[in-house]
Chains A and B, each alone.
Chain A
Amino acid sequence: MAETHSLQDMRQQAAIAAKVFIQRDYTNGTVCQFQTKFPSELETRIDKQQFEETVRMLNNLYAEAEKLGGSSYLEGCLACLTAYTIFLCMETHYEKVLKKIAKFIQEQNDKIYAPRGLLLTDPIERGLRVVEVTIFEDRSLGR
């Protein structure tokens, strides 16, 4: 019985004009990084700097997830000793950062992309292959 429509509902009612796919950037090896090249389809919708900043931040988060340090080594050893049953109680460092990434994408969508009629999809939904940017039909009445 909600009178106010949520942002999600509005998005679903809007028609999808196109989708752009940001591919993986393999120049530094097989670590999870995405290309920061600004796609031409988004030129009319969003600022180039803003978009590149989002992708750069995303790349940093993935680098943090895959970082190997003392804490990840200890986590691995402890897990092995307990026959990995410890992961029934706690989550891995990678999973924690994945949650952080999901929150980041949600935030970016709410603050920056939704007002411009765009939607970022979490790359984990696509198997860390692409960042899918959905472009909705521009229904702005000269706002």
Chain B
Amino acid sequence: MSAVMMTRKVRKWEKLPGKNTFCCDGRVMMARQKGVFYLTLFLIVGTCSLFFAFECPYLAIHLSPAIPVFAILLFFFVMAMLLRTSFSDPGVLPRALPEEATFIEMEIEATNGNVPAGQRPPPRIRNVQINGQIVKLKYCYTCKIFRPPRASHCSICDNCVDRFDHHCPWVGNCVGKRNYRYFYLFTLSLSLLTIYIFTFNIVHVVMRSVNSGFMKTLQDTPGT
């Protein structure tokens, strides 16, 4: 007699008005253009696999097996940081709901007074005192909020992001408060990995050249 209506709960990420794409039931959050991110992945994985295929056997035998082991750990760390930066929420501020938007509009009108028609309304600024200094908070017309200090609106993702640094196409996401740490570690560890691979490439080529001459070395290890 009683029909049980199973209403599927709508998740927050499904209702987010920004230009983000979501995967894995909301666990992965990225920008719309992902082409450059795939390029980054290809470059890192490609270079490292060439290194592991061509250099590591020689270096492991002739120098030390710790060299490829450390390279693998570093590669794993770089990939973890890259994926963490790309897939996590940079600190998107939710847009104001209609009631809050009208509340803020009324507050702005109260401070600015009536503007005669035809004149441009003054910029919407809210002054707050932080540790004795006056800081101006700007109003975001898209999100209808006064942005907290150090927040900014990303036009590519169409969201206000807290402590917005920049939108990184290489990573396919904005860099903001919640993923800054992973982005920084990614760039740091990637630099380390690049220098590491480059150094051991040189070492490898030199060692082989000493034995069999430079031209033959290049023939033996094209991957270098």
Contacts and interface: CB of A to CB of B under 8 A. Distances in A.
A and B physically associate: yes
Contacts of A27: 129-131
Interface string A53-87: 00000000000000000000000000010011100
A84 B93 CA distance: 24
Contacts of B80: 83-85
Contacts of A19: 99-100, 103
Given A1-B2, A29-B130, A84 B182 contact: yes
Q: Which secondary structure dominates chain B's binding surface?
A: mixed
Interface in B76-98: 76-77, 80-81, 84, 92-94
A48 interface: no
Contacts of B174: none
Nearest to B102: A19
A83 B150 CA distance: 27
B68 interface: no
A26 B81 CA distance: 33
A117 to B, nearest CB: 17
State the main secondary structure of chain A at its contact with B.
loop
A126 B94 contact: yes
Contact of B100 (A16, A24, A28, A130): A130
Given A26-B135, A83-B81, 19 more contacts: A16-B99, A19-B99, A19-B100, A19-B103, A21-B100, A21-B103, A24-B148, A26-B128, A27-B130, A28-B131, A30-B149, A80-B185, A83-B76, A83-B80, A84-B84, A126-B100, A127-B94, A129-B145, A129-B148
A80 B188 CA distance: 13
B182 A29 contact: no
A83 B100 CA distance: 40
Interface in B25-62: none
A30 B135 CA distance: 11
22 contacts: A19-B100, A19-B103, A21-B103, A26-B149, A27-B130, A27-B131, A29-B130, A30-B148, A30-B149, A80-B185, A83-B77, A83-B80, A83-B81, A84-B81, A84-B84, A84-B182, A126-B100, A127-B92, A127-B94, A127-B162, A129-B93, A129-B145
Interface size on A, as a range, is 20 to 34
A40 to B, nearest CB: 14
Nearest to A1: B2
Nearest to B12: A125
A70 to B, nearest CB: 19
Contacts of A30: 130, 148-150
A27 B130 CA distance: 5
Interface string A119-139: 000000111011010000000
Contacts of A85: 80
Contacts of B84: 84
A126 B81 CA distance: 28
B93 A127 contact: yes
Interface in A15-41: 16, 19, 21, 24, 26-30
Interface string B137-153: 00000000100111000
B143 to A, nearest CB: 10
A84 B80 CA distance: 8
Nearest to A29: B131
The 8 closest A-B pairs by CB, nearest first: A83-B80, A127-B93, A26-B130, A19-B99, A26-B128, A83-B77, A127-B94, A29-B131
Interface in B166-224: 182, 185
